[in-house]
Amino acid sequence: MRVLVIGSGGREHALAWAIAKSPRLKKLIVAPGNGGTQTMATNAPIDITDHAAVVALAKSELIDLVVIGPDAPAVAGLADDVRAAGILCFGPSKAAAQLEGSKAFTKALCDEAGVPTAAYGAFDNEADALAYLHGKGAPIVVKADGLAAGKGVRVAETLEEAEDAVRECFSGAFGESGSTIVIEEFLAGEEASVFALCDGRNIVMLPSAQDHKRVWEGDRGPNTGGMGAYSPAPVMTPKLLERTRREIIEPTIGRMAERGTPFTGVLFAGLMIASDGPKLIEYNVRFGDPECQVLMLRLKSDVLDLLEATAKGNLAEVTPEWRDEVALTVVMAVRGYPVSVEKGSEIKGAEALDSADVQVFHAGTARDGDRLIANGGRVLNVTALGRTVREAQARAYAAVDRIDWPEGFCRRDIGWRALEREGG
Ligand code: AMP
Ligand code: GLY
């Protein structure tokens, strides 16, 4: 098979790494890729927002399968354009990607499908939004409707903070993404993520994974794209996973098919595990980054079989196998992330660490001759397997400590919730 992966982060390096292991692979291209994908695939330096350029590349390289990694190309409808050219694509249509692209769409769909989620109101003007807020009180959550690079959600402790968030959205802080807002009930509980491959009708649940969104140890500081992850997540017991499938994923996939916008690709459900069961916080229409990195390390089956079956509507015929070990990844970021990011510092010692138990995935790297250079906020994902969370964590940090990069930092407590459950 000839495969084109779209994206340039750690998620895409992990996907490319798993794809490269497939005996079915003939050619692998990553567009635009990074310093890690460059060593195991061909990087194609094209503008992925230019769908015609992506399709032209896929055609000239006789690509059999395009795999869309990030949210933005999915929401922009790249999969539709690839399919219109007669090429198989892993990723949702533009219509189905509204599950990530519009929070108001998702809330309405949850109502129609009976999916448990926070009570809410959706507003296109400040006066109505403020009136609703005053009727509800705090704590309460204010969200810009569209994609806002992870910055469009405010969990407000006080009414004043919530009012600020409403005004910020309508003042244009998030552009078009904030012209509609969702205000919703604050949910208490522990968060968890669930991933499901969907081919429009069939569902294959993937193992649970948990990320760490805040930048500092102890889950403090500003939100990031994710500072580390592990799989499985002990909070997602088999019973909870089954409830999530039945109460959340299945009704969503069923309703999407009924409305003529079947969902294909990977559905990523952000959940709050409340005292009365799982509730949906949000959907994403892609793998989590860095959750994908730990899932790929645990996958025993041929990832191309899974991606192809998803794209072709044949998921009923596949059952992926997973390693029993725990996988854990530590994100190394540039000092200053997520507030300010300086590119260009040199990273040494990151390339000879890969072993049976350790994989260093690149997120924001580039190469300058022989030198490996930081080229983004999140730069490396040091990922390890172990029989326990403790063992995987020790292996990951031992590898981190061998990397010589003074301009980088990481959290030192990735996996802490799971470690507490493991008993120390
Ligand atoms: P989202 O971008 O929708 O995932 O929201 C970002 C973060 O805000 C989530 O990971 C939660 O920590 C928090 N959050 C979002 N919605 C709620 C809610 N209704 N109740 C409590 N926390 C929430
Ligand atoms: N790690 C969270 C995300 O990919 O959205």
Q: Which residues of 33-58 are buried (b: 16+ CB within 10 A; e: fewer)?
A: bbbbbbeebebbeeebeebeebbebb
pLDDT score recorded for residue 153: 86
Q: Which residues contact 176 (CB under 8 A, 6 or more apart)?
A: 146
Average predicted confidence (pLDDT) for the chain: 94
Residue 111: pLDDT above 80? yes
- Position of tokens 């009365």? 276
pLDDT band at 59 (very low <50, low <70, confident <90, very high): very high
Distance of CA 326 to the CA centre of its chain: 19
Cβ burial, residue 125 (10 Å; 0-12/13-18/19+) = exposed
- By CB atoms closer than 10 A (0-12, 13-18, 19+), residue 179 is middle
172 CA from centroid of ligand 1 (Å):
21
Which carries the bigger pLDDT value, residue 393 or residue 125? 393
What confidence score (pLDDT) does residue 178 get?
Answer: 66
- For a pLDDT cut of 90, what percent of the chain falls above it? 82
Residue 22 has pLDDT above 60, yes or no: yes
Q: Given the CA of residue 281, which atom of ligand 1 is nearest to it?
A: 16
Atom 5 of ligand 2, residue of closest alpha carbon? 288
Is 80's C-beta closer than 6 angstroms to any atom of ligand 2? no
CA of 20 to the centre of ligand 1 (A): 35
CA of 294 to the centre of ligand 2 (A): 13
The pLDDT value recorded for residue 150 is 64
Pocket of ligand 1 (CB under 6 A): 118, 141, 153, 155, 184-187, 191, 213, 270, 281-282
Q: Is residue 259 scored above 80 in pLDDT?
A: yes
Is 151 in contact with 157 (CB distance < 8 Å)?
no
Q: Could you give the C-alpha distances from 299 to 59, 206, 207, 306, 322, in angstroms and in order?
A: 30, 10, 10, 11, 5
Give the integer Cα–Cα distance in Å for 134 and 132.
Answer: 5
Residue nearest to atom 4 of ligand 2 (CA): 288
Kindly state if the Cβ of 226 falls inside 6 Å of ligand 2. yes
- Tell me, using a 6 A CB cutoff, whether residue 98 lines ligand 2: no
Helix axes 291-298, 10-20, angle to 10 degrees: 20
Among 289, 295, 329, 414, the mutation site with the greatest number of ligand 2 atoms within 8 A of its Cβ is: 289
CA of 16 to the centre of ligand 2 (A): 18
Residue nearest to atom 2 of ligand 2 (CA): 288
More confident residue, 349 or 174: 349
Angle made by CA atoms 154, 148, 184, in degrees to the nearest 5: 35
Q: How far is the CA of 168 from the centre of ligand 1 (A)?
A: 18
- The pLDDT of residue 148 is above 80: no
The answer to whether 268 and 287 have CB atoms below 8 angstroms apart is: yes
**Nearest-atom index, ligand 1, CA of 143:** 3
Q: What is the mean pLDDT of residues 274-303?
A: 96
Atom from ligand 2 closest to the CA of residue 288: 4
Residue nearest atom 9 of ligand 1, based on CA coordinates? 281
Q: Is the pLDDT of residue 361 over 90?
A: yes
pLDDT for the residue 257: 98
The yes-or-no verdict on residue 424 having pLDDT over 60 is no
Percent of the chain clearing pLDDT 70 (strictly above) = 98
Residue 64 Cβ contacting ligand 2 at under 6 Å: no
Q: Is the pLDDT of residue 151 over 80?
A: no
Q: Which amino acid is at 146?
A: G
Which ligand 1 atom sits nearest the alpha carbon of residue 270? 4
Residue 144: the pLDDT is 85
Q: Which atom of ligand 1 is nearest to the CA of 152?
A: 2
Per-residue three-class SS string for the chain: CEEEEEECCHHHHHHHHHHHCCCCCCEEEEEECCCCHHHCCEECCCCCCCHHHHHHHHHHCCCCEEEECCHHHHHCCHHHHHHHCCCEEECCCCCCCHHHHCHHHHHHHHHHHCCCECCEEEECCHHHHHHHHHHHCCCEEEEECCCCCCCCEEEECCHHHHHHHHHHHHCCCCHHHHCCEEEEECCCCEEEEEEEEEECCCEEECCCEEECCEEECCCEEEECCCCEEEECCCCCCHHHHHHHHHHHHHHHHHHHHHCCCCCEEEEEEEEEEECCEEEEEEEECCCCCCHHHHHHHHECCCHHHHHHHHHHCCHHHCCCCECCCEEEEEEEEECCCCCCCCCCCEEECCCCCCCCCEEEEECCEEEECCEEEECCCEEEEEEEEECCHHHHHHHHHHHHCCCECCCEECCCCCCHHHHHHHCC
Residue among 268, 254, 186, 262 nearest 226 (CA): 268
Q: Among 30-34, 57-61, 188-192, 389-393, name the one with the lowest average pLDDT.
A: 188-192
Close Cβ partners of 101 (under 8 Å, ≥ 6 residues apart) = 71, 75, 146, 147, 285
Which tokens go with 161? 């903070």
Q: What residues contact 391, with CB distance under 8 A and at least 6 apart?
A: 326
pLDDT at 168 over 90: no
Ligand 2 centroid to Cα of residue 151, in Å, is 12
71 lines ligand 2 (CB under 6 A): no
Average pLDDT over residues 165-178: 80
Give the pLDDT score at 333: 98
CA of residue 281 to ligand 1 center, whole Å: 6
**CB neighbour class for 340 (10 Å; exposed up to 12, middle 13-18, buried from 19):** exposed
Nearest-ligand number for the alpha carbon of 287: 2
Render pLDDT for 178-212 as a digit per residue (tens, 0 to 9): 678 889 999 998 888 999 999 999 999 999 999 99
* pLDDT (0 to 100) of residue 72: 94
The atom of ligand 2 lying closest to the CA of 290 is 1
What pLDDT sits at residue 211? 93
Question: Model confidence at 171, in pLDDT bands (50, 70, 90)?
Answer: confident
Asked if residue 332 lies in contact with residue 412, where contact means CB atoms within 8 angstroms, the answer is: no
From the CA of 192, how far away is ligand 1's center (Å)?
11
Looking from the CA of residue 186, the nearest atom of ligand 1 is 20
Q: What is the pLDDT of residues 307-325, one digit of tens each?
A: 999 999 999 999 999 999 9
User: Does 100 contact ligand 2 (Cβ within 6 A)?
Assistant: no
- Give the length of the chain: 424
- pLDDT at position 222 is 86
Quick check: 247 pLDDT over 60? yes
